[in-house]
Amino acid sequence: MGRRRRNETEEQRARRELMSGTSGTGRNGKKHSYYICNNRKKHKCDKQNVIKDIIEELVVEKCRELLSDEVINKMIGLFLAKSDQEYAKSETARLEKKSIELDKQINNLTMSIAICTAASRRRQLRAPPYVRR
């Protein structure tokens, strides 16, 4: 067991130490929801159970503190900036691809004109001279 814990990741350690939600029914038949430490189930922790409503209210309150309008607006700004960067990259790639396609079309048209001009000159050279009456 010691070896496994030395090599465990932070995520694995956090899961091992986290609390899990559970519920039970009291003597009066009323259902009670609470959180219990994962290690307490294995008798390796003496943390007390926490009533679900109390801990969830604390979590919501802390989230509201951390996610003030100012913080949310800053997060939105960062998201929009990143989104604009990604759009600019994709638009640049699209325009570069379109530019390559247009260059090919211009080259093809130029070649077609050159071929037509050469063919026209050959016909002129083979044609009998124009005689006016």
pTM of the complete model = 0.40
Which of 48, 46, 44 lies closest to 34 in space, CA to CA? 48
The predicted pLDDT at position 109 comes to 92
What average pLDDT does the segment 9-13 reach? Answer: 74
What average pLDDT does the segment 106-129 reach? Answer: 83
Higher-confidence position of 6 and 19: 19
User: How far is the CA of 10 from the CAs of 4, 17, 46, 102, in angstroms?
Assistant: 12, 11, 22, 53
Higher-confidence position of 4 and 24: 24
The confidence band for 85, taking pLDDT boundaries of 50, 70 and 90, is very high
pLDDT tens per residue across span 19-59: 888 888 888 888 988 888 887 767 788 888 888 998 889 88
89, pLDDT greater than 80: yes
Neighbouring residues of 97: CB distance < 8 A, sequence distance ≥ 6: none
What is the chain's mean pLDDT, rounded?
A: 83
Higher-confidence position of 88 and 121: 88
102, pLDDT greater than 60: yes
